[in-house]
Amino acid sequence: MRNLPLAVPFLVQAALGQVAAAPALATDDPALARLHADLRAIAFGSGDGGTTATAAARLLAGLRTGDLAVARAALAAVRARATASANPALTDGCWQLLALGWFCAATGDDALAAATWPTQRPLLQRLARAPTAPQFADECLVIQACFAAASLCHRAGGDPLPWTNRAFVRRERLERVGWQRMRGRFRSDASTGLSARRAHPPAEVRDLEPAWFGLCPTSLPWRSHVAGALDELTRAAADRPATDSVRAAAIRLAAATSLRAPARDLAYAALGRRDAAGTAPADAAVALDALGFALTGLRQAIDFGRGGALADVVELAPWLPPAATSLRLRGLAAAGATFDLDVDARSGPRRDDEADLAACIGGDRQRLVVAISLRATSDGAPRIVVLRGGCEGAVAMLAVGERWVGSLATPQLDAEHELRRGDGDAAGR
């Protein structure tokens, strides 16, 4: 792609008001627009009250929806709580590291990481000595905090390897202690002993929380855990819809998105059926983030362990709810870049503005056409954009000011592809 002149760095643009403070979401699906507006009003309209986890969830939702003003305010609230207590709980410290890591990764603010890294020493010492948490979700939070510490250390100019190693060691220990092979899932509570393992207790919503806050299900045990717990909780929600909640539906939505599983449609429908009026701000922030994750597949909160090698990569896996045929999102932030995202369901012959990939997914069959416009970056440099679908993907390098259009198969085509591949595999055997 052609080279364009380097732009003013993103943070300078934001300070000058050249980057929109509030995002814009436009869609032809009234239910989606109403859900997004309701969750946003509750999540962002309650000031800075709540816990450190609430402020961190609000920060992540602000980043995921492109509202950097909310993200900055939430980060300030997280840091204020960290300094207000002489001996904060370890979980609060973990949320603090995640919030700081998310913000620096999304905005590319290495100066903030360098300035705050020395002040984290007491927390880091506690994190390094922390024993294995008995609750699965709590231990996953510590592991993700170690990955966040590695990312912040790298951005501050240090050696991230010790913290990356700690994260992997803890994850390997969790796999040894908590994995239940017969169930294909990690046990929720390691303190319950062998009898509880034999009793096969039902899955809990917290079992899927790591998929929301970013511990990516990459290995077979982790994918099996998320898939198994998601299936069980989805069936339980269908059997007892009155006991379902906004937070539970949102966590299932995030987990299904991380796997690109068909349960995403069911979780989205369940989230839309819940009355947002009585939702707590923390749950609304989680739901708003999960909704943003489902629509964009934006992975700035995932894989802190990848380090700085892929810091210039924006990875997307767009999705449209069943009733929507168009989506417009403005001011998204990831990898030190802000960009606009347009997603349209399209059929018919390939048009001139589409990448050649559209010709490879069935000619005139239905597809998602995705347009990305790179508005600004923190360093003025180009960004690599990766579009992922279920059975294919596309990659492009964008300079600031450029726009690129690619096409992806719809989930229906993905399912057909998997079915055909499965039949072929069976015939081969």
Residue spans of the domains in the chain: they are 24-298, 313-428
What's the pLDDT score for residue 298? 84
Tell which residue, 367, 376, 428, has the closest CA to residue 402: 376
Q: Helix 246-259 to helix 281-296 angle, to the nearest 10 degrees?
A: 20
**Who contacts 312 (Cβ-Cβ below 8 Å, separation ≥6)?**
335, 336, 381, 382, 383, 384
Architecture of domain 24-298: Alpha/alpha barrel (1.50)
What's the pLDDT score for residue 47? 61
Cβ atoms of 94 and 144 within 8 Å: the answer is yes
**pTM of the entire structure?**
0.85
Q: Please identify which residue in the block is written with the tokens 């994260």.
A: 167
Cβ atoms of 155 and 113 within 8 Å: the answer is yes
| Sequence letter at residue 13 | Q
- The structure tokens listed for 215 are 């511990």
What's the pLDDT score for residue 80? 87
- The structure tokens listed for 207 are 């079992």
What's the pLDDT score for residue 357? 55
Q: Where does residue 4 rank: exposed (0-12), middle (13-18), buried (19+ CB within 10 A)? A: middle
* 3 state DSSP class of 6: coil
pLDDT along the chain (429 residues), means of 10: 33 38 76 93 76 91 87 91 76 93 90 93 93 92 94 92 93 88 83 55 90 81 91 94 93 91 91 84 93 86 52 87 92 90 84 61 71 92 86 84 84 41 36
